[in-house]
Amino acid sequence: EIVLTQSPGTLSLSPGEGATLSCMASQSISSSYIAWYQQKPGQAPRLLIFGASSRAAGIPDRFSGSGSGTDFTITISRLEPEDFAVYYCQQYGTSPYTFGQGTKVEIK
């Protein structure tokens, strides 16, 4: 199975700062089938990005995704208070559709 490794594990930032989260795959992801999700405590995850760089419906343009092959990134241009959460990447190109272990973005 494809293993996804996210870094860093935790990111401590202040509102207004930018955030860059990384997702590295153990093998190339077909058709850039990478998604990013946001999860807040006690809530179900929410899809942010699919196809490595396409924003899901209703997602603000401060969220952007990039990458190809084995290296993918999600960038939050300026953190709003509601952006502090855990972020997961997922590959859905090859079954089993594995997730990364998550990156927590916390308030500094």
Partner 1 sequence: QVQLVESGGGVVQPGGSLRLSCSASGFTFSFFPMHWVRQAPGRGLEWVSVLSYDGNTKNYADSVKGRFTISRDTSNNTLYLQMNSLRAEDTAVYYCTKGLTPPRVLVNGPAGNWGQGTLVTVSS
| 58 binds partner 1, rule: CB under 8 A | no
Which residue is it, tokens 């929410």?
Answer: 46
Instruction: Decide: is 95 part of the binding site for partner 1 (CB under 8 A).
Output: yes
Q: How far is the CB of 34 from partner 1 (least distance, A)?
A: 9
| Strand boundaries in the chain, DSSP class E | 4-7, 10-13, 19-25, 34-39, 46-50, 54-55, 63-68, 71-76, 86-91, 103-107
Asked if 90 touches partner 1 (CB under 8 A), the answer is yes
- The stretch among 13-21, 64-72, 75-83, 100-108 that binds partner 1 (CB under 8 A) is 100-108
Q: Can you tell me which of 2, 22, 39, 70 binds partner 1, judged by CB under 8 A?
A: 39
Q: Which two tokens stand for residue 23?
A: 């997702």
Rounded Cα distance between 42 and 66, Å, is 28
List residues binding partner 1 (CB under 8 A): 1, 31, 33, 35, 37, 39, 44-47, 50, 56, 88, 90, 92-93, 95-102
